[in-house]
Structure formats: structure tokens, C-alpha cells
Amino acid sequence: MEEAFIMHDIEIPHQYTPGAEPGPPDYLLVWDAPNVDMGLGSILGGRPTSAYRPRFDAIGRWMLHRAEKLSASLGETVEPEATVFTNVAPGGAEVMRPWVEALRNVGFAVFAKPKSEEDSDVDPDMLAHIQRRHAEGILRGVVVASADGQNFRELLLELADDGIPATVIGFHEHASWAVTAENIEFVDLEEIPGVFREPLPRISLDALPEEGAWLQPFRPLSALLTGRNAHHAED
């Protein structure tokens, strides 16, 4: 039987190379970095500054606590697995390297994919990783971090129907389907203790200031052209 990978005398319980032996029972987090950034940007009205970047050490502690509770409920030891999926734009490797190394140092595995075109997406890779852990027979719970989580809806509902706890981390402004889903737990990212250094400047229709407020668009108007071109390409 293949031994777990060991780096600097620290055992890494879950493996990523194709054909590797399945690891221990798994509580899996898959984090959609481009989508979470997009959701943050729509709330902030621009690119997130350091004060509004999620603290992954806080997310790691939250995962450890959840895995411990899941272990107690199942009567077996469940190991948390934290993964981040991201795109790397041409020429952007040097900018992203410190962030990626910081994530790995906290204990997150990172799947990085070249951003070869504007609509390059890591969603299929995230879905494939969830399905891999499920096929290995070790998946005991799954958490998807995405601004809206819409692309994971079908799979998460299937897993929930199979008795596997499924959670979406996102923003309630964008993930109404998950907020109202009976079999899916929704956790607003800002509810995780210590995840942001400062409160997000959120505006909602049920908590408007007296002077009114602008609500930023979720995407640029030019996105309609991309969608139209894609539609014409299918014709």
C-alpha cells in the first residue's frame, strides 16, 4: 500500500497524483478563488484590498473545528482537506507566487490553471476533484466556497441525497438558491470568525441608508457581448 506523502516529517494525508491510494475519511473544502474574488469585487465596487482579503488561516481553523464535529457525529476520524482552485494569467506567475506559497504553508493544496482565454474556468476541475474523492469512497462531507455556487448545485444536491453533508460558503446577496435549499447548508463567508480584518461594506435592499445607495452590477455590461457571441457560435 502506498504510504502517505511526507514533507519535512509532516504527513500529508490526501494525495493528488493520478492513481494514488485513497487517503483517510475526508471533509473536503474546494475554494473557487476567481469566483470568490468576483463576488467580493461586486460588494466592494472594486478589487479587494488586503483588509478585505479572506484570511485562510481563519478558514483553516473553521475547517478543523467542523471536521472534529463531523468525526464525533460519525464515530470515525475525519481529516479535513482544504483546496484552492485558481487561474494564472499570462505573465502573472510572479505576482501570484507569494499568495500561492502562503496558502500551501497554511496547509491548503492549490490547483493552478493557465488563464488561456477570458472565460477560462476552474469549475470543471473543482467538480472533478469532488467526484474523485467520492469515487474513492472517502468523502464524508464537502464544502464549496464560491460567490454563488450555482455551477455546483446539481452535484451538491446529489451528494446531499446520498447522505453526504454539503455546504456552500458564499455571499447571501449572490447565492439565494443555497440560502433557501433544504438539503444544503449555507454559510456566509463573513460569518466565519476572523476571516476578514474589517466588516464588509455591504448594501442590501432590506437595510438601505436613508440617503439611498448604489448597488454595483455583478458583471460589466460588455459581458452581454460575450454571451451573445457564444450563443451565435452554437448556432
Task: Dump pLDDT digits (tens) for 44-88.
Answer: 878 887 788 999 999 999 999 999 999 999 999 999 999 999 999
* Domain ranges for the chain: 21-234
End-to-end CA distance of the chain: 51
Q: Does domain 21-234 have CATH number 3.40.140.10?
A: no
Asked whether the beta carbons of 20 and 12 are under 8 A apart, the reply is no
Residues in the chain: 235
Query: 0.85 cut: is pTM over it?
Result: no
pLDDT digits (tens, 9 = 90+) for 34-56: 999 988 888 887 888 778 899 99
In the prediction, which pLDDT does 6 show? Answer: 45
CA distances from 208 to 40, 174, 212 (A): 19, 17, 6
Contacts of 63 (CB under 8 A, 6+ apart): 27, 29, 80, 82, 143
In the prediction, which pLDDT does 107 show? Answer: 95
In the prediction, which pLDDT does 61 show? Answer: 97
In the prediction, which pLDDT does 224 show? Answer: 82
Query: Whole-angstrom Cα distance, residue 150 to residue 37?
Result: 15
Contacts of 131 (CB under 8 A, 6+ apart): 155
Query: Which residue is associated with the grid cell 488561456?
Result: 116
Residues of the chain with pLDDT under 50: 1-8, 228-235
